[in-house]
Amino acid sequence: MDSIIFPKSLKKGDQIAIISPAGSVNESQLENGLKIIESKGYEPVLGKHLYTNYSNGYSYAGTEKERISDMNWAFNEEEISAIWASRGGYGCQHLLRNLRLSKFRKNPKWYIGYSDNTVIQSYLIKNNFASIHGQTVKTSSFGVSEESYDLTFDILEGKLPKYSIEKSTFNKDGNVEGELVGGNLALIYALLGTPYSFNFKDKILFIEDIGENYYALDRMMISLDLAGVFRQIKGLIVGGMTNMGNEKDNKNYEESFDEFAYQIISERLKKYDFPTVFGFPNGHIHDNRPLIIGAKVTLKSDKKVEVNF
């Protein structure tokens, strides 16, 4: 198996392409994120269709052709040093068959995003390139912690993260090392059976999600089980499960680490004994700390919980 390639570290003054591969955004939604990029000493370069709005059953950031054009420009433009998605939403799957990495292969760049961007990150790791599963340029309704952005810039500048988190009662203890794959559970599920699905063999899987009914969460977990994912992975990290379920009397409805969602996941994993950590601060949550898809990660869960790159 080919080793995963890490893009080179950025230096002050480097250009970061800002593109919208999925849902539409307006200028006010990116204002704060663009200011942060500039304050760190980098130059945001806006994709031609960054603010385009194309309505076709969903508010996309342009037609498929327009979004593909921006993505391939960002991948292959020599002056661009990193690519930062404006937001997720829906639409990244439209791009997969038309992505081009000709010049990117000679000059790999960090790709930053989460949510629907899981699709792009799966594509990149299939081509042996690491990426950052972290906060988009657009800040969501629940806001973003300052540390979430700071840690992303640390990775861009060559500093790998080390995390220590609180222990959950749902955890399965153990120590394991492996390559990290995953992202948004709905997209991991959507890619199953396609040529663009993650390779789960001997990997540590990360999952997070937002706004799913509990039965839909259960359906996705069963699908991963039936596909043999849980027989292949070495460990599992579970992040935010935000606004899950539609039961209005559910006291955890607005919680980022939904206890009932965790219970559903835990029940589906009972027959497996790999280390499992719940409550990792990544996902559709305020404290969205970046993970590196494709990196070797050490997962430790005993008296304390550590996730180190």
Q: Say whether 163-308 and 15-156 share the same fold.
A: no
Q: What is the mean pLDDT of the chain?
A: 95
pLDDT(142) > 80: no
Q: What is the pLDDT of residue 253?
A: 46
The whole model's pTM is what? 0.96
Superfamily classification of domain 15-156: Murein tetrapeptidase LD-carboxypeptidase, N-terminal domain (3.40.50.10740)
Which pLDDT tens digit goes with each residue over 219-256? 999 999 999 999 999 999 999 999 998 755 455 445 68
CB 61 within 8 A of CB 85: no
pLDDT(140) > 80: no
Buried/exposed 177-200: b ≥16 CB within 10 Å, e otherwise: ebbbbbbbbbbbbbbbeeebbbeb
Residue tagged active-site, from 24, 49, 284, 301: 284
Residue tagged active-site, from 24, 86, 115, 122: 115
Q: Dihedral sign, CA of 84, 90, 96, 97?
A: negative
Structural domain spans, the chain: 15-156, 163-308
Interaxial angle between packed helices 259-268 and 214-226, expressed in degrees from 0 to 180 and rounded to the nearest 10: 20
The verdict on whether 208 is a catalytic residue reads yes
With cut-offs at 50, 70 and 90, classify the pLDDT of residue 139: confident
Residue tagged active-site, from 20, 69, 179, 208: 208
Q: What is the pLDDT of residue 304?
A: 83
Q: Which CATH number fits domain 163-308: 3.40.50.2000, 3.50.30.60, 3.40.50.1950, 3.90.960.10?
A: 3.50.30.60
